[in-house]
Amino acid sequence: SLNDGRWMLTTETTLPGGWMLCVVTDVSELGIELRDLRQQRDRALKSALSDELTGLGNRRYAMDSLNHMLGPSKAQALAVIIMDIDHFKSVNDRFGHACGDLVLKDFAARLSASVGRDDLVGRIGGEEFLLVLSGSRMHIAEAVMQRLLSTLADASPLGDMPDFRYSCSAGIAFANPGESASDVLRRADTALYEAKNTGRNRFVIYEAVS
């Protein structure tokens, strides 16, 4: 690397008679191309794993991460929470998809603000989101959900309609050692279904489902 920012590749070859041939090649342009390729790769990787609208991890990222957290070498306690925005289809039908997108972005921002640094959060469907709390945070799953539901009570994401409010329902399941992601997600989904059927704007823990 030269002081002016250029990069040089030097090759040395020993010739008969003891002479040395030294070839210096300016590879600055190649360095720029490699940097651009790395940036393109990073952008592509981020795009493949994140939801474009909300900025959260997408379904692929969330499921891969959950499977990793449930791996046999991990053996950590997990609270797996599936959340679904209530009556979301009617929001799109009544106000249009642009307003629906504003609701999704608002919910994603509030969800992100309510979780810890090591929590797993992602958008796994149209209006469906996943939150996974690990270790000791598993024990405050109910408090996290209660706080989130409370923040939604004051949420007004549609500027032209300040009186508009929305809510969400959630199902919580606690992972068992060695359990597969599909098993624990099925139990969380069962709890979510119960929350929807018993009035919405609430959460249900799987063990409490009758």
Enumerate the active-site residues.
127
**Which residue reads 């409010």 in tokens?**
165
What burial class does residue 75 get, using C-beta atoms within 10 Å of its C-beta: 0-12 exposed, 13-18 middle, 19+ buried? exposed
Q: Which two tokens stand for residue 15?
A: 């010739």
Report the distance separating Cα 201 and Cα 198, nearest Å: 9
Report yes or no: 148 and 109 within 8 Å, Cβ to Cβ.
no
What burial class does residue 1 get, using C-beta atoms within 10 Å of its C-beta: 0-12 exposed, 13-18 middle, 19+ buried? exposed
The number of angstroms, rounded, from the C-alpha of 184 to the middle of its chain's C-alpha atoms is 18
Report the distance separating Cα 168 and Cα 122, nearest Å: 15
